[in-house]
Amino acid sequence: MLKALTQPWFYNGRMSDCRVSIGASVAHQPVEEPSDLLKKADIALYAAKLRGGGRIAIYEPGMRVEMQKRATEVALAREALQQDLILPSYQPKVDLQTGKLSGFEALLRWRHPTRGMQAPALIGAAFEDLELAGALTDRMLSYILRDMRRWLDAGVDFGHVALNAAAADFMQKDFAERLLQRLDAAGVPPHRLQVEVTETVFLGRGAEYVEQALKVLSASGIRIALDDFGTGYASLSHLKQFPVDVVKIDRSFLRDVHDPHNAAIIRTVVSLGRSLDLDVVAEGVETVEQEAYLISEGCVLGQGYLYGKAASASRVPGLIKSGPGRVRLAA
């Protein structure tokens, strides 16, 4: 069935195709009710879609637990939005040669009613939901634009702020245009904002919208950063096809810079950035040893706990005023 349904087909002289996900359940007991089998098959179908779609999944008990977990994450995200618990925290990016702050990445945080400030992992499923992902990005953008406008009014030179955009954001065909309109309404110059994407936005449905949106943003002066570079499907063709200005070395490669494979990847990405005139940012810099290694390889920018944890908007001016060589003390 799966093989037959995924065959290309013609309609009005044009060839099309489709991806099919199938969920199935098997009756292990003769007395099992058909309604229970259908519920299990539906859970398996949900699991097949979460695994990327275009495949078959047979029901397993763990799937119900996973579905409940994801439902909880979505509910928490909705509650966080409704109660205005979403806010950005700003992690500094540092010039490794001078120690000067070059900009910030806005990281989503939310206030849990009982556990306090939380990273987005507890609401991870929400970023796969078209409606919720868009709402979370809109809320983050509202606060980021407000903060940038306040810093500009106060004469604070923060460099730039990077906003993370999910694949679901680009499914909105007017994403780029609306973002530019909001920048203009806030009176924030486009070069003050970066848009960070992961390679997953280049894949699957809606890829044509991504390319168009990124080109519109890039033409306006917004720089595009490719996050988690080297961990998945990103290729040189993506760097050619899409207007990428910055590549970010994933933190996983810095955990052991003595590992020959990690070292080779870091060296290759830095060299690639130099050859293509791209900025290279190393994420997850936590030790002086890692910093020294990156400098020796020619990496220009670093980001991580060595330079400070993500801070509230009110602390950003203090981080900037502390000056070169004192960023770590502000952490």
Q: Looking at residue 284, what is its pLDDT?
A: 92
pLDDT (tens digit, 0 to 9) for every residue of the chain, 331 residues total?
A: 888 888 888 878 777 777 789 999 998 777 778 888 899 999 899 888 877 678 899 998 888 888 888 888 888 889 889 998 999 999 999 999 888 899 999 999 988 777 778 888 878 878 877 788 889 999 999 999 999 999 999 999 999 999 999 888 888 888 999 999 999 999 999 999 999 998 777 765 666 788 899 999 999 999 999 987 766 655 677 788 889 999 999 898 998 888 999 999 999 999 999 999 999 999 999 999 999 999 999 999 999 988 888 899 999 998 888 754 445 444 4
> Which candidate, 80, 91, 101, 6, places its Cα nearest to that of 324?
101
- Using a cut of 0.75, tell me whether the model's pTM lies above it: yes
User: How far apart are alpha carbons 70 and 50 in whole angstroms?
Assistant: 10
| pLDDT score of 53 | 75
Helices (H), 154-298: 167-170, 175-186, 207-220, 236-241, 260-276, 288-297
Question: How far, in Å, CA of 303 to CA of 106, rounded?
Answer: 12
Q: Kindly list the structural domains of the chain, giving each domain's residue range(s) and its CATH number in brackets, ordered by start.
A: 2-59 (no CATH), 85-330 (3.20.20.450)
pLDDT reported for residue 264? 92
Q: Residue 194: which residues within 8 A CB-CB, separation 6 or more? A: 103, 160, 161, 162, 163, 222, 223, 224, 225, 245, 246
Residues 76 and 122: beta-carbon distance below 8 Å? yes
